Chain A
Amino acid sequence: MEKRQGKSCVELRNVVKRFPGVTALDHVDLEIEQGKIFTLLGPSGCGKTTALRIVAGLETLDEGDILIDGEVMNDIPPHRRNCSTVFQSLALFPHMTVEGNIAYGLERRKTPNHEIRKGVGEMLTLVGLEGMEKRRPSQLSGGQRQRVAVARSLVLKPRVLLLDEPLAALDRKLRKEMQVELKRIQGEVGITFLYVTHDQKEALAISDTIAVMRMGKLEQAGAPDEIYNTPRTKFIADFMGATNILSGKVTATGDGKLQLKTDSGLKVIALHNEGTASNEITGISVHPELIELLPSDTGLQGDNRFKGKIKEMIYQGDFIETKISLSQTGELLTAHFPSRLELVTRLSPGEEVLAHWSPKSSNTLLDQ
């Protein structure tokens, strides 16, 4: 078979999957680069797990093609795809030891005993579980179980490792630790990871590429900072925490900038990317941490400066979530204000402030 030119490891081409009453995947195209961590991100029911199960071969597709290393895999059963899955429940065999769990896949391949032992040993070192080989899953902590599940799959040297919300059962601290661990392990083995999560922070921390899904469609794919800073649609902006979303129409362009009049009547300024037609822009989004609060007697000259009144302040530890209702339109803006800033201590609900953000903080939205 002819080797493909590109470096894509997994490819979905125009994939459609229907379940009774719902289209789980609606003409999805995506390409996963060899040796990277690719994350499918979206709320529950967006089709991300279905996409993963189609790659694994646990679901069949209704239309389109699934390719692994350039080969069409539509009718190839799971055990002949050389993918391996880390399940959400981990699915460690409770009646086997750590060693038995990791060796299971190799035994099925009739690998000679000394090679099994060698492979298991290597994996235990890789995931940092030396000396635990005789334990049973019930005798391990959540993080250790996680490592066994990853080792059990990686020992088979799959072409792609599929991870279905593998950290969902862990507490926040352990989850962050395991994110770092998974990234390290992936870097060491160089195997492509297809990662599924609904947690945008986890996706940002772990991925090389994030694909955001919604209602069976792929909304946007890109590097984590791209998805975070320049979400293309209201849905993604909201999902990535850019909660200040102002819908409106472009009224003027020029000088590399554009002016957008929001539905409520605010005039906001954003940078104008030459590539986008201004009539396609449907609004802007601003991340709360990019909104500055200035004393109310600061001048109104300049872009994106609006008078407002603090409605509520919610203490969040490292920052203070501040809701400001704009005097001009009554619109609510959310600003995340670092707790360390002196000014915060002098602010209180009811106070007049000036909300400001720079034009380059305005991200233009292109909803259809």
Chain B
Amino acid sequence: MRSNRILMVAAIVVYVLLWSPVVVLVVLSFSNNRLGVKWEGFTLRWYIEAFSSSAVISALRTSLIIAVVTVVVSTVIGTLAAYGLYKYKLRGKEFLRTSILLPMVLPYVVMAGSLLIFFVKVTHIPLGYFTIILGHVVFCFPAVVFVVLARMARIDWTLEEASADLGADTATTWRKVMLPLLAPGILAAAALIFPWSFNDFNFSYFTGGVGTQTLPVYVFGLLRYGDTAIINAVASLFAVLPIIILLLMGFLSRQKTVVY
């Protein structure tokens, strides 16, 4: 009984620490205080100001486009890579598998900085959407590989043979059998990397060049001018959007009664 109560207290502490910054942020975003640091009555002013600012809208659009493209490209590449790593016997497979983690363990500042040099000095690719997405894919797709690999380990691979045996070609087998079976893993990976890309600052800042400003980069710019109230409003969106997505995912997965 005693240890139960200790566990309970510990759990409460953890959740308070987890939630309080978010709650404070969201509450202050409704506060009628220019600096957004204390409560001075309810207002929607900052939200209205944020969303009537074309700079915010444009940055939001840029971030969304980059995140969506990153998610699509990363899941496709990551799933194919996972398939190769799972199915084919090749020498040094273990090494290849582990080395995919490299972009995830290197400090992002270092990665982003070296990518900038790579783009500008080595390949001469103009900075913009393309370079940001490339950078995001580099640190996002390893996560897809590992999430999808975990899913693959739980699949009965005779299903692939059975599909071929019943007359399906490779493309049909993927469309009708493998993708539906891998879907939970692929979707989970997508849900994981979407906020990574959407929230990323380092890569977007270094490889964005002039004119391609994502929301985090824009917020960073605001900070330098001390416009913290608008930042609170924008940041609340950052906090609330993923929570909505997570809740939605939980709801959708409960709808699916099929257990594979």
- Of the candidate stretches A87-95, A181-189, A265-273, A325-333, the one touching chain B is A87-95
Interface of B is mostly: helix
Contact A87–B177 (Cβ < 8 Å): no
- What are the residues of chain B within 8 A of A138 when measuring CB–CB? 258-260
Q: Which of A99-116 contact B (CB under 8 A)?
A: 104-105, 108-109
Interface size on A, residues (CB 8 A): 23
Contact B167–A156 (Cβ < 8 Å): yes
Contact A91–B161 (Cβ < 8 Å): yes
Q: Which of A134-170 contact B (CB under 8 A)?
A: 136, 138, 152-153, 156
Considering residues B167, B169, B176, B180, which has the most beta carbons from chain A within 10 angstroms of its beta carbon?
A: B167
- What are the residues of chain A within 8 A of B259 when measuring CB–CB? 138
- What are the residues of chain A within 8 A of B172 when measuring CB–CB? 108
Contact B181–A94 (Cβ < 8 Å): yes
Contact B167–A108 (Cβ < 8 Å): yes
Known: A89-B156, A89-B158, A95-B180. A108 touches B258 (CB 8 A): no
Considering residues B156, B166, B168, B169, which has the most beta carbons from chain A within 10 angstroms of its beta carbon?
A: B166
Instruction: Kindly state the separation between the CA atoms of A153 and B161 in the bound complex, as whole angstroms.
Output: 13
CB of A190 within 8 A of chain B? no
CB of B165 within 8 A of chain A? yes
Known: A94-B181, A138-B258. A79 touches B165 (CB 8 A): yes
Q: Which of B155-187 contact A (CB under 8 A)?
A: 156, 158-159, 161-169, 172, 176-177, 180-181
Instruction: Kindly state the separation between the CA atoms of A94 and B259 in the bound complex, as whole angstroms.
Output: 8
Instruction: Kindly state the separation between the CA atoms of A114 and B91 in the bound complex, as whole angstroms.
Output: 50
Contact B161–A58 (Cβ < 8 Å): yes
Contact B167–A105 (Cβ < 8 Å): yes
CB of A85 within 8 A of chain B? yes
Contact B156–A91 (Cβ < 8 Å): yes
Instruction: Kindly state the separation between the CA atoms of A105 and B166 in the bound complex, as whole angstroms.
Output: 5
- The tally of CB-CB contacts under 8 A between chains A and B is 60
- What are the residues of chain A within 8 A of B176 when measuring CB–CB? 93, 104
Instruction: Kindly state the separation between the CA atoms of A84 and B161 in the bound complex, as whole angstroms.
Output: 11
What size tier do the contact residues of chain B reach?
Answer: 20 to 34
Instruction: Kindly state the separation between the CA atoms of A94 and B260 in the bound complex, as whole angstroms.
Output: 6
CB of A222 within 8 A of chain B? no
- What are the residues of chain B within 8 A of A246 when measuring CB–CB? none
Considering residues A94, A109, A152, which has the most beta carbons from chain B within 10 angstroms of its beta carbon?
A: A94
Instruction: Kindly state the separation between the CA atoms of A14 and B113 in the bound complex, as whole angstroms.
Output: 65
Interface readout for A57-89 with B: 1 if CB under 8 Å, 0 if not?
010000000000000000000110001110111
- What are the residues of chain B within 8 A of A58 when measuring CB–CB? 161, 165
Tell me how far the C-beta of A125 lies from the nearest C-beta in chain B, rounded to whole angstroms.
Answer: 21
Contact B165–A84 (Cβ < 8 Å): yes
Contact B162–A91 (Cβ < 8 Å): yes
Instruction: Kindly state the separation between the CA atoms of A156 and B165 in the bound complex, as whole angstroms.
Output: 11
Contact A93–B168 (Cβ < 8 Å): no
- What are the residues of chain B within 8 A of A95 when measuring CB–CB? 180-181, 258, 260
- What are the residues of chain A within 8 A of B161 when measuring CB–CB? 58, 85, 87, 91
List 18 extra interface pairs beyond A87-B158, A95-B181, A95-B260, CB under 8 A.
Answer: A79-B166, A79-B168, A79-B169, A83-B165, A84-B165, A84-B166, A85-B165, A91-B156, A93-B177, A95-B180, A95-B258, A104-B163, A104-B166, A105-B166, A108-B167, A138-B259, A156-B166, A156-B167
Chain B residues near A (Cβ < 8 Å): 156, 158-159, 161-169, 172, 176-177, 180-181, 258-260
Closest 9 A-B residue pairs measured CB to CB? A91-B162, A105-B166, A108-B167, A91-B158, A79-B167, A94-B260, A95-B180, A87-B158, A85-B165
